[in-house]
A and B are shown apart, each in its own frame.
Chain A
Amino acid sequence: DIQMTQSPSSLSASVGDRVTITCRASQGISNYLAWYQQKPGKVPELLIYAASTLQTGAASRFSGSGSGTDFTLTISSLQPEDFATYYCQQYDSDPITFGPGTKVDVK
């Protein structure tokens, strides 16, 4: 199985900050990577797929990059509604696996 790791596991930031979250796969997954946002008690929402393609409806301040084993999610200017947990997901091969999540909270 492909293991996904994320760093940091949590971070504290302020509105307006640029935030970067890293996701690493245990083996190459090309660009078969997605990013999700989940707020407490809510359903996960797809932000990015194919490593860098913004999902329709997702805010343009979210961007993704990377290929192979190393990926990043960047929030260009953190907004109040962005405080949440972010998960990466590989879909290169089964079983699909998620990263453990990165919690972004208020500094």
Chain B
Amino acid sequence: EEQLVGSGGGLVQPGGSLRLSCAVSGFPFSSRSMNWVRQAPGEGLEWVSYISSSSSVTYYADSVRGRFTISRDNSKKSLYLQMNNLRAEDTAVYFCARGGAIADRAMPTWGQGTLVIVSS
């Protein structure tokens, strides 16, 4: 069974930093691209960032580019999101999601989400 377990969320002040992690099992992590997607309370889905299987390609939403950094450690089967200079509008549940085997940018499996609250 595929599992993605997100962690690292919490309450942080504006301007602060957090590092999210996503531990995976049940699929060939080193062969799959990964994404972070967020959902503000009561709102829709917003894609945040993408990393290819080998880490050679990364993409970011305009709203986070320059503040967030996606990375992965294939030996540890883990995905990360370093979030700096956090703003109130970054408050959301952050999901990690893997890319598809056929359609790389569709997301067939998602983690349970970790809540980030940016507030003073």
Question: Which positions in A face B, CB cutoff 8 Å?
Answer: 1, 32, 34, 36, 38, 43-46, 49-50, 53, 55-56, 87, 89, 91, 94-101
**Residue numbers in A under 8 Å from B44 (CB-CB):** 87, 98-101
A-contact 0/1 string along B29-61, CB 8 Å cutoff? 000000101000000111100100000000111
Of all chain B residues, which has the CB nearest A44? B110
Is B59 within 8 A of A94, CB to CB?
A: yes
**Residue numbers in A under 8 Å from B45 (CB-CB):** 36, 38, 44, 87, 89, 98, 101
Is B103 within 8 A of A34, CB to CB?
A: yes
In whole Å, how far is B103's beta carbon from the nearest beta carbon of chain A? 4
Of all chain B residues, which has the CB nearest A85? B44
Is B47 within 8 A of A46, CB to CB?
A: no
User: DSSP class of B's interface residues: helix, strand, loop or mixed?
Assistant: loop
Of all chain B residues, which has the CB nearest A55? B108
How many residues belonging to B are interface residues under a CB distance threshold of 8 Å?
A: 23
Is B95 within 8 A of A96, CB to CB?
A: no
**Residue numbers in B under 8 Å from A50 (CB-CB):** 102-103, 106
Q: Which of B47, B62, B111 has the most CB of A within 10 A?
A: B47
Interface hits, B48-104 → A, CB 8 Å = 50, 59-62, 95, 100, 102-103
Is A98 within 8 A of B106, CB to CB?
A: no
- The complex places the Cα of A49 from the Cα of B99 at a distance, in Å, of 11
In whole Å, how far is B46's beta carbon from the nearest beta carbon of chain A? 7
User: Can you give 6 contacting A-B residue pairs, CB < 8 Å?
Assistant: A44-B107, A46-B107, A49-B100, A56-B108, A96-B35, A101-B44
- The complex places the Cα of A61 from the Cα of B36 at a distance, in Å, of 29
Q: Which of A32, A53, A96, A98 has the most CB of B within 10 A?
A: A96
Is B113 within 8 A of A43, CB to CB?
A: yes
